[in-house]
Amino acid sequence: MKTVRARALTSTATAALLLAVTGCSTMGGESASEPSSPSTSADGEPTGKVVLVTHSSFSLPKGLVRDFESETGLDLETRSAGDGGTLTAKLSLTKDDPTGDVAFGVDNTFASRPLDEGVFASYAAELPDGAEQYALEGEDRLTPVDVGHVCVNVDTTWFEREGIEPPQTLDDLAAPTYEGLFVTSGASTSSPGMAFLLSTIAEYGEDGWQDYWADLLANGAKVVDGWEDAYYGDFTQGGGGGERPIVLSYDSSPAFTVKGGRSTTAALLDTCFRQVEYAGVLEGAANPAGAEAVVDWLLSDEVQAALPTSMYVFPVSDAVEVPEDWARHAEQPADPYEVDPGEIAANREQWLTEWTDVISR
């Protein structure tokens, strides 16, 4: 496992600043409503409404939701709170008056802040086989639900046509062979962009990542706001007439560019940063029993099996099989980059300031 040991910096970021630098969208679809009603049946089972606060990419088949409601007697209401960074910031801001009972979508790059601020209540869910490796050490307030990796992707058909070997490593991206070919989303405006920044910090260390970014930009790398801008706007396999055959995306992306049984893209597995998404019962939840039922449901075989095609992430459970295209084309890295969540929390503001300085030169 590739990790980084960064110097600790005192974080002075306020919740407002966190919203400004990590949120690429605002609260969508949330409306004021009555709080969930805490109640249990005669046999102690949770009943009533349970509110799930999550990010805007949350999506599961409606049939699964109906089955959950039918089997538990709960009425599941989902509230969107923007992307993962915005979600985390809003959970912290509303910790004393939570807007729901349970949250899903806080990832390992943001986990330490809500944990330090007491956003989540203790709940030791029974983890399926394979999930333990993704759990936060010594922590039972956040339960791992899915895993994915932010990786540089290449258009393999472009490189074959041009007779050029595609890059393999972060170093390669700054080589003259690949001048003007790479597009990435920004660290201050997108979750994958932040993950890519963390990959470079893990690889080059506190004293070297800024120089790497300077070399990357000097080699013609383009920085855009979000993943969709990069993938669908500039990437040659994004369908929009883009001109850059190297893009920041995910390890699962090649499973969605399959033509005639062969993927037209590939993820560079030596460039990947691991992202784990968690669920947790909110402290002060009106329906904590219902919240626990939701966490358990997210770990069920049915939900775990639906994650790849619904949210384009890998299940944490070894008990379910991924779709055939995933098994063939969505290879996971054996040695991804990781940065301790505490290191990220302590250094995020400084890293983003330094990154912004580099790309603004």
| Cα R_g (the chain), whole angstroms | 21
The three-class DSSP label of residue 91 is helix
Between helix 84-93 and helix 191-204 the angle, nearest 10°, is: 100
Residue-level pLDDT at 106 = 92
Q: Which of 19, 139, 148, 152 lies closest to 86 in space, CA to CA? A: 19
The model's pLDDT over 281-305, given as tens digits with 9 standing for 90+, comes to: 999 999 999 999 999 999 999 999 9
Q: How confident is the model at residue 191 (pLDDT cuts 50, 70, 90)?
A: confident
- Classify domain 15-148+275-340 at the CATH class level: alpha beta
Tokens of 74: 């709960």
Q: Indicate the range of 36-45, 180-189, 228-237 predicted with least confidence.
A: 36-45
Given a contact cutoff of 8 angstroms between Cβ atoms, the answer to whether 201 and 351 are in contact is yes
Q: Indicate the range of 214-228, 258-272, 325-339 predicted with least confidence.
A: 325-339
Record the pTM. 0.79
Sequence ranges of the domains in the chain: 15-148+275-340, 150-273+342-360
Residue-level pLDDT at 66 = 97
108 against 317, higher pLDDT? 317
CATH fold of 150-273+342-360 reads D-Maltodextrin-Binding Protein; domain 2 (3.40.190)
Same CATH topology for 15-148+275-340 and 150-273+342-360? yes
Q: What percentage of the chain carries pLDDT values higher than 70?
A: 88
pLDDT of 65 > 80? The answer is yes
The DSSP bridge partners found for residue 354 are none
Q: Indicate the range of 23-27, 83-87, 238-242, 325-329 predicted with least confidence.
A: 23-27
In angstroms, what CA-CA distances link 307 with 71, 316, 323?
Answer: 20, 10, 10
* Interval 224-251 mean pLDDT: 93
Residue-level pLDDT at 188 = 86
State the sign of the Cα–Cα–Cα–Cα dihedral 168, 172, 177, 179. positive
* Interval 116-129 mean pLDDT: 96
Tokens of 109: 């790059």
